[in-house]
Structure 1
Amino acid sequence: MKAVVHEKQMGKAGLSLRQIEKKDPAQGEVTVKLKSAGLNHRDIFVLDRHKPEDPPVILGSDGAGVIESVGTGVQRVNVGDEVVINPGLGWEMNSDAPPEGFQILGFPDNGTFAEYLTVSADSVEKKPEHLNWEEAGVFSLAALTAYRALFTRGKIHSDMTVLIPGIGSGVATFLLQFAKAAGATVYVTSRSEAKREKALELGADLAIDSNDDWDKQLHGTQADLVIESVGAATFDQSLHQLRRGGTLVTFGASAGDTIQLDLRSFFYGQYNLLGSTMGSAEEYRDMLQLIESQQIRPVMDRTYTLEQFHKGFKRLEEAQQFGKVGFQISM
């Protein structure tokens, strides 16, 4: 089968599309003939985490397709079922933090940038009927991350004002859609005028320029909840826009891991700072229910073939996207 594999060299130099052996399902496993897959920033980070001495790995955490075969003992799905892949491995029920051994599909285990994927039957769920294959293959990691950050950690409700810095990523666009579905008022930021305009079309109540004065643009309004994924470049401003006693949830640091924090101002402000990562299988199923009940669709940016994988990686690296970058694998 065709697969995008990383091996022998660090970074993008180690990426190639080649033929590898297809794996048959063992007991409790299923093999999915993949229709589509989604690219995430994690796939870029893996290029510098997967060492030349490590075994070759197929990248990709998001995917959707049709069950082609099942191993012994599998009863929850059948051959021919249309499914989406839960990229989280080893985290079944919701908990304060991921359990020991929690991993994400695509490293160190083989992922979805291939014609077939063999995984535990517990890692697949029924594809939402209102999504086409292009949409179904790209949402899982981003939507699950957004769901846990907003609902489990952020305790969002309809009376809240939510601030989302750095609109444009897959997770950020789901944060916007989910927060609006919950009835919240949502403000977003971006350096890009085009991304701000798209966010307003998607339902944002206000979209401000990250490069200009946030206070002035927000007219003194402060947020009850900030969902921060940019990191060092925006963290201070994000915290400054949080009301006293408010909550900031962080799940990423695309623009720097290290910040300086004025502790005295922080504890006088009675702020809550919470970390969040992906989510459990229980939260994944809850997220699917939300997507289906509200008929939410992922915002699609571009779709490429597997042979065009370098174009997809380049678009994400340069932060050109608004929404999800996907790969079409089969029709």
Structure 2
Amino acid sequence: MSGVVLVGHGGFDKLEYRNDLPVPKPDRNEVLIRVAGAAVNNTDINTRIGWYSKVVTSETGHGATQGIEDLRDTDASWSGEAIKFPRIQGADCCGHVVAVGLDVDPGRIGERVIVRNMLRSYVDYRPMECWTFGSECNGAFAQYTKAPSRETFRVDCDWSDLELASLPCAFSTAEGMMHRANVGAGEHVLITGASGGVGSAAVQLAKRRGAIVTAVAGNEKAAHVRSLGADRIVDRHESLVENLGTMSVDVAIDVTAGPAFPEVLEVLRKGGRYAVAGAIAGPIVELDMRTLYLKDLSFFGCTFQDDVVFENLVRYVERGEIRPVISKTYPLENIVEAQKDFISKTFSGKLVLAIT
């Protein structure tokens, strides 16, 4: 089969498109999927360049094209452990089941499915543990992939395959933050990075819960973010405190961190909740501990996802409560072009690879 193999940490030269890869064989409780589409995500690039290593203190765009010098491989994956190469990445997967393992109902063959990107089966459902599809195991950047049957979900909807491929990673990350912070109707929610994949999903998911949404995005992307349901837009170069005032927000949904982090905490009310699942503007932030404890803030680091998060997403899609946001599609062999466009941040929503 054809696919893209990551052969080590570094620049684009570490991505090899090949036509001689073996088709995986499903184990007893797995299904074999003919992949139709897979989206590009920050985690793909972060893993390639080793950004997750604690020796890296820069924003995610640093080294995204050439890799990061003086990288420590031992903790360069999101899990904090060394990644095993070669690896087929791709956290997002939409495709069709073409074969099943011995303990899987053959009736699943032919189903159109998506795969939970945070897999629990391979760690025996231990609390707060998971594998990322395309990191600890091979993912969707190939014609075929395999996944646990119980974490492969049939979806009945009118979305195209490529639209469904935009869902798993971005929407589950956003819904995971909503779930952990327990966002409720009528609450004022601040969403950073609102024009990106996770941010666009977060805007929709917060509005679905009946929240009032203030989104942070560039002025050139404001109309798009507003079309997703945002009630107010603050330009990412402007002060949150000057625009919103202190203690004006109930929940902050953050994927950027970086220099703006102190102001995010300033606009939270007393008893406010802060949920984070990314640090594209930089992982090292300035925290005044007095702000944290004098305002009785709650912090939620959001990587692990309760099972209900992904299951709910499937229901939201089938009930027509959310919609995909795709900016551009590419053939799989153009993955470098797709990642370059992703790094440029000139688009809104998702970039998706079509796999034939």
Query: TM-score, length-normalised on structure 2?
Result: 0.85
Matched, 1:184 2:204: no
Count of aligned positions: 325
Q: How does 1:271-286 map to 2 (within 5 A)?
A: 271-286=297-312
Q: 1:9 to 1:316 in 2, by over 3 A?
A: same
- State the Cα distance separating 1:205 from its structure 2 match: 0.4
Q: 1:112 to 1:229 in 2, by over 3 A?
A: same
- State the Cα distance separating 1:105 from its structure 2 match: 0.8
> Partner residue of 2:135?
107
Distance (Å, rounded) in 2 between the aligned partners of 1:306 and 1:316: 14
- State the Cα distance separating 1:271 from its structure 2 match: 1.2
> Partner residue of 2:12?
12
1:216 aligned partner, one-letter code: E
Q: 1:4 to 1:136 in 2, by over 3 A?
A: same
Structure 1's consecutive aligned runs of 4 or more residues displaced over 6 angstroms after TM superposition are 50-53
2:201 aligned partner, one-letter code: F
Aligned residues of 1:134 and 1:328 also touching (Cα < 8 A): yes
Q: 1:160 to 1:53 in 2, by over 3 A?
A: closer
- State the Cα distance separating 1:54 from its structure 2 match: 4.1
> Partner residue of 1:247?
273
Query: Secondary structure, in 3 states, of the residue corresponding to 1:106?
Result: coil
1:80 aligned partner, one-letter code: G
Q: Could you tell me which of 172, 192, 198 is aligned with 1:165?
A: 192
Q: 1:157 to 1:9 in 2, by over 3 A?
A: closer
> Partner residue of 2:96?
66
Distance (Å, rounded) in 2 between the aligned partners of 1:290 and 1:222: 29
Matched, 1:98 2:98: no
Unaligned regions of 5+ residues in structure 1, if any? none
Query: Secondary structure, in 3 states, of the residue corresponding to 1:57?
Result: coil
Aligned residues of 1:5 and 1:59 also touching (Cα < 8 A): yes
User: Sequence identity of aligned pairs in percent?
Assistant: 26
Q: How does 1:248-267 map to 2 (within 5 A)?
A: 248-267=274-293
Deviates more, 1:35-44 or 1:277-286: 277-286
- For residues 10-69 of structure 1, what are the alpha-carbon distances to aligned partners after superposition, in whole Å with 9 as ceiling and x for unaligned? 232211110211112221111111111111100001112378994311110101111111
Query: Secondary structure, in 3 states, of the residue corresponding to 2:96?
Result: strand
Matched, 1:319 2:320: no
Deviates more, 1:211-220 or 1:270-279: 211-220
Distance (Å, rounded) in 2 between the aligned partners of 1:88 and 1:290: 18
Aligned residues of 1:4 and 1:59 also touching (Cα < 8 A): yes
Aligned residues of 1:58 and 1:113 also touching (Cα < 8 A): yes
Q: 1:280 to 1:220 in 2, by over 3 A?
A: closer
Aligned residues of 1:60 and 1:112 also touching (Cα < 8 A): yes
